Chain A
Amino acid sequence: MRNPAITRRFTPREFLHFYAARFRIDLTTNIAYRGSVAIWLIGLILQPLVSLVVWTTVADSQGGSVSGFTTSEYAAYFIILMIVNNLTFTWVMYEFEYRIRTGFFSGILLRPVHPIHQDVTQNFSFKFLGLIGVLPAAVILALAFDAEFHASFLDVVVFVPALILAMALRFIIEWTLALLAFWITKTSAVFQLYSSVSLFLAGNIAPLWLYPDSVQAIASILPFRWMVFFPIEVMLGRLDLQDMLLGIGMQLLWLAIATGLLRLLWKRASARYSAVGA
């Protein structure tokens, strides 16, 4: 039985209203669980801090620079990485398994809005709170490790769309991957593989310029580089205008591919869904 009033498309105004209301709810929920947010933040700050220490140690032992980058530039890289990671991470992959196992989806599917929108506001509100911890940490680390930033005005201008596209791309790719939970019950192994690969190819362990050319080429063809590393590269002032535009183009291309894939998979997944006991 289809209710035409439910399946009609929302107007932009209604959507804006929905987003504002959801964001308020999600923010309040996250504030209620501020202890968990704080503990999550420890990991979010510790990971880049450890990489920062390792690479500044390596650079120092090599007389102050590795692969043409100074100790202070490595510090800058990992500090920007920390901020970009906080703004692009999602944990939808880990939630889907739970959602399907517990029948949580039954209620969500009845709502007249695509469930992805709810995840967007949840994700946004969490990142917003995360910034309260991450930004001061970034300032302190920048001072403690004597980080050197030399972004031009143009770099900062391009950084904004590069970051927004990276956020959108990572979100849509991980949401699409999470849909695998509709077919496979034990998805955590798949997700761990994805996380490990992205740890390298997105530049979390080390900047991509430290890898052999072949690995860098693979990272550029796959979406990983465009989800995290590219905006950092822009902000470090490493790219000329042509490379920056090329990067934005790659981000748009992958965004189009991922969105198409998401629509296709979601249609099949929601048709396939049956709650336990149905």
Chain B
Amino acid sequence: MHTLVVIRTYLKLGFLNMLQYRANFFFELLGVTTHLATAFIGLAVVFNQTEHLNGWSASEIVILVGIQTMIGGLLGTVIEPSFQQFMEHVRQGTLDFTLTKPADAQTMVSLQRVEGGAIAGIIAGIVTLFAGLSRQAEATGIGHALLFLLTLLSGVIIVYCFLLILTTFAFWFVKLDNILVIFGTSFGVAGSWPITIYPGWLKAGLTYIVPVAFAVTIPAQSLTGRLTAPWAIGTVVGAFGFIAVSRLFWRFGLRHYTGASA
């Protein structure tokens, strides 16, 4: 209960803070619209030459791009800016101020900054997702929709934990802000297509090293009726595993934090 109050307060403060930069939202909206327009023209060129790409139709790829944009917006709104801020705190030794507060440090660190402009990505992603769904020949069943929500939630958890593990390394290596860029690049560039089209080594890398598959492809597969039972179960189990491992690693890392003048 206490944690929920902390989460609510932090998010509320973050959003209030971001209201100072309202114009930024429109610039982000312009940016994400340009990005989506680029993606759609690219899709048009591809599907002008073929009906299916590795078994995926145009509207199914639109759904996938919608999910990618939505998750990208979600990460950009809270998780990425908070982790950037955390690394800055470790570098400057100001993490002390967070650690001395009587609440869970991981929760506070993960929610400490809100980048309101990135919400534009969430909105644009949802719109794109529904645009893709409406172009589907068959309506999406309730079963697929529920499975989608479950895998989407698991995917977001996996990515969050993955980024938490990466950021925790800041306790040892201090200057690490570039490391988040690796995920951002793989997610942004390779995530706009189903990873099943890539050669084996790249597919494995985007599944087990950088979990782009769990964040984008698997939710898209579940919504388009492609997800097999082992992968669905694996994704949910994987999410629980990631929660446990990242939490343990976070606490292990925290013990290595020595503060500014210690």
The answer to whether A199 touches B38, judged by C-beta atoms less than 8 angstroms apart, is: yes
Q: Taking the complex as formed, is B30 at the interface, i.e. its CB lies under 8 A from any CB of chain A? A: yes
A57, A188, A211 — most chain B CB neighbours (10 Å)? A57
The answer to whether B190 touches A50, judged by C-beta atoms less than 8 angstroms apart, is: yes
Q: Taking the complex as formed, is B85 at the interface, i.e. its CB lies under 8 A from any CB of chain A? A: no
> How far is it, in angstroms, between the C-alpha of A205 and the C-alpha of B186 when the chains are bound?
17
Return the CB mask of A17-35 against B: 1 if under 8 Å, else 0: 0000000000000000001
Residues of B within 8 A of A200 (CB): 38, 41-42
Shortest beta-carbon distance, A91 to chain B, in Å? 14
Q: Taking the complex as formed, is B8 at the interface, i.e. its CB lies under 8 A from any CB of chain A? A: no
Return the CB mask of B18-59 against A: 1 if under 8 Å, else 0: 000001000100110011011001100110111011100000
Known contacts A53-B198, A144-B199, A199-B38: A46-B190 contact under CB 8 Å: yes
Return the CB mask of B178-204 against A: 1 if under 8 Å, else 0: 110110011001101100011100100
B35, B41, B53 — most chain A CB neighbours (10 Å)? B41
The answer to whether A39 touches B193, judged by C-beta atoms less than 8 angstroms apart, is: no
> How far is it, in angstroms, between the C-alpha of A189 and the C-alpha of B193 when the chains are bound?
25
Contact partner of A61 (CB less than 8 A), chosen from B34, B37, B52, B179, is B52
The answer to whether B186 touches A54, judged by C-beta atoms less than 8 angstroms apart, is: no
Contact partner of A39 (CB less than 8 A), chosen from B34, B54, B182, B190, is B182
The answer to whether B53 touches A39, judged by C-beta atoms less than 8 angstroms apart, is: no
Residues of B within 8 A of A62 (CB): 49-50
The answer to whether B199 touches A53, judged by C-beta atoms less than 8 angstroms apart, is: yes
The answer to whether A189 touches B41, judged by C-beta atoms less than 8 angstroms apart, is: no
Shortest beta-carbon distance, B254 to chain A, in Å? 24
> How far is it, in angstroms, between the C-alpha of A167 and the C-alpha of B78 when the chains are bound?
39
Contact partner of B31 (CB less than 8 A), chosen from A53, A144, A188, A210, is A188
Known contacts A39-B178, A53-B197: A186-B27 contact under CB 8 Å: yes
The answer to whether A196 touches B37, judged by C-beta atoms less than 8 angstroms apart, is: yes
The chain B residues found within 8 Å of chain A, CB to CB, are 23, 27, 30-31, 34-35, 37-38, 41-42, 45-46, 48-50, 52-54, 178-179, 181-182, 185-186, 189-190, 192-193, 197-199, 202
